[in-house]
Chain A
Amino acid sequence: MKLRWGLLDAVVVVFALLPVLWIVSLSFKTTATLTDGNLIPREWTLENYRTIFQTDQFVRALVNSIGIALISTTIAVVLGTMAAYAVARLDFPGKGALVGVSLLIAMFPQVSLVSPLFDIERQLGIFDTWLGLILPYITFSLPLAIYTLSAFFKQIPWDLEKAAKMDGATQAQAFRKVIAPLAAPGVFTSAILVFIFCWNDFLFAISLTSTERSRTVPAALSFFTGASQFEDPTGAISAAAVVITIPIILFVLFFQRRIVAGLTSGAVKG
């Protein structure tokens, strides 16, 4: 019995990791052995990594990716925390509408915004800028943040807030001094989820940018050519792919439990 479960586990692990291992392996292969089909490179090289970090194209995209994802995450989590607190704790007309709107946006077909945003951003002069990507990223991660956070906030022992208010704190003070520290783990979890979303986006990244000024790594990858036009970019693309996968792997390794809790609390318990 134990063996059978163990076997199933092994199948799951292999199924989940094989594509990742394959691209890691490609990234360490030399140009000559790139097409040998071996999972373990016969000749190891760091050449591909050296290449991408020497090209402005990749470094610039990496800076864009990190900057845009961090700014979007920060803003989305701050706005999301405020709204989630209100949803979880306060009684006010329009609460149902807010929850409904976030649900609608979670299901919104993002490609429907590509044409109109393209035109609007061109007119406003924010096409191909960080702001042009940050705005849609915040919008589409807000529902995720609001759902996850309000689920967390509902589990906080709110008597503490009452106690603080009894001691003379206003509602705003009670929020800042008592509840915020308790809510920090939830906020952190939703920040991870939002960051993963912004980091992964491809559709907006490729349609609302046109130059290295704001192109993020996923978009830049699809324009990659080797050092010269005639060089096969496979090795370089693989290396760049591995680099942007590292933060995700780290998140998953260190915060597995929290990510699972955040994803499921947001979607099932509401």
Chain B
Amino acid sequence: MTVRVSEGKRAERRLGWLLCAPAAIVMVAVTAYPILYSVWLSLQRFDLKFPDEREFVGLSNYITVLSNEYWWTAFGVTMLITVVSVAIELVLGMGLAVVMHRTLVGRGLVRTSALIPYGIVTVVAAFSWRYAWTPGTGYLANLFSDGAPLTERASSLAIIILAEIWKTTPFMALLLLAGLALVPDDLLKAASMDGATAWQRFVKVTLPVMKPAILVALLFRTLDAFRVFDNIYVLTAGANETSSVSMLAYNNLLRGLNLGIGSTMSVLIFISVAIMAFIFVKLFGTAAPGREEGRR
């Protein structure tokens, strides 16, 4: 009997490995190998315009990038977009989640229309915003007396953030909605009997129950916002110092054809994201997604 059980166990293991192997191999081959390769490239002078001058230069690319003001401007822009858009999305997303949760009138309509920004191609949405804010083709440009908002830095950044918020608030709201559904109605009713106001009920009952859902939503959106590229590419193409780090890395590669510097930026972006993820996971504790014991 024991032999048969362990035999079955072994078969189960083998099947488990067999079923996971293709997915695991593809994921590792397309991410781990290139990122290691990019560390290797980042230690070289490697410009496709001058391939003969390729040589090992140690950390000099890192010094070049980290002492370059364009890099730090782009880094600041990326952080600004990330922090501001995620903060606003959290508030709006919470509002939208409550509307989707509570509303009885036209529930399907609200959910369907909220999903459209999520599903729509980012580039398409970006073009729509670009035309909207361009004097002539737009309906929003005339809100400002001074004309072309996409030609100035502050207003361009505001529009990029607006486009990000429009696109991703629904996703945030859906994640929060799932958390909202976990809040027991009895608890809210009891609190209300004890004389808690709607706001107190929200802060004291709803928010604590939703904490894991909020953290997951924040984690995914923060790391996602840090990668901002499509909207900037279409809206400003990085003009007037509105480049994000992704934009800068892309330009270095495809406009500059400088693989060494491009790879250095890749590695630096990877490290930044890893640090942010690490901080979030520390904050999560056991509620981190993927950790079995943290789940119900």
Contact = CB atoms under 8 A, between A and B. Distances in A.
Interface of A: 2, 5-6, 8-9, 12-13, 15-17, 19-20, 22-23, 26, 34-35, 37, 39, 79-80, 82-83, 85-87, 90-96, 98-120, 135-136, 138-139, 142-143, 146, 171-172, 196, 199-200, 202-203, 206-207, 217-218, 221-222, 234, 237-238, 241, 244-245, 248-249, 251-253, 256, 259-260, 263-265, 267-270
Interface stretch (B26-34, B65-73, B144-152, B195-203): B26-34
Contacts, number: 310
Interface string B118-148: 1111111101110110001111001000000
Contact of A221 (B15, B123, B178): B123
A112 B269 contact: yes
Given A9-B105, A9-B110, A113 B266 contact: yes
Contact of B230 (A17, A87, A117, A202): A202
B15 A90 contact: yes
B233 A202 contact: yes
Contacts of A202: 121-123, 229-230, 233
B175 A222 contact: no
30 contacts: A5-B99, A17-B116, A19-B117, A34-B136, A37-B142, A79-B23, A82-B20, A83-B24, A86-B19, A90-B13, A92-B12, A98-B20, A98-B23, A108-B270, A109-B227, A109-B270, A138-B26, A200-B123, A203-B229, A206-B233, A207-B253, A221-B123, A241-B124, A245-B120, A248-B120, A249-B116, A252-B115, A260-B111, A260-B174, A269-B295
Contacts of A218: 121-124, 230
Nearest to A95: B16
Give chain B's interface residue range (CB within 8 Å of chain A). Answer: 35 or more
Contacts of A113: 30-31, 34-35, 38, 266
Contact of A110 (B175, B219, B227): B227
Given A90-B15, A112-B35, A22 B128 contact: yes
Contact of A16 (B41, B116, B269): B116
Nearest to A242: B124
A15 B113 CA distance: 9
Residue of A37, A109, A251 contacting most chain B CB atoms (<10 Å): A109
B99 A8 contact: yes
A20 B115 contact: no
Contact of A116 (B34, B121, B272): B34
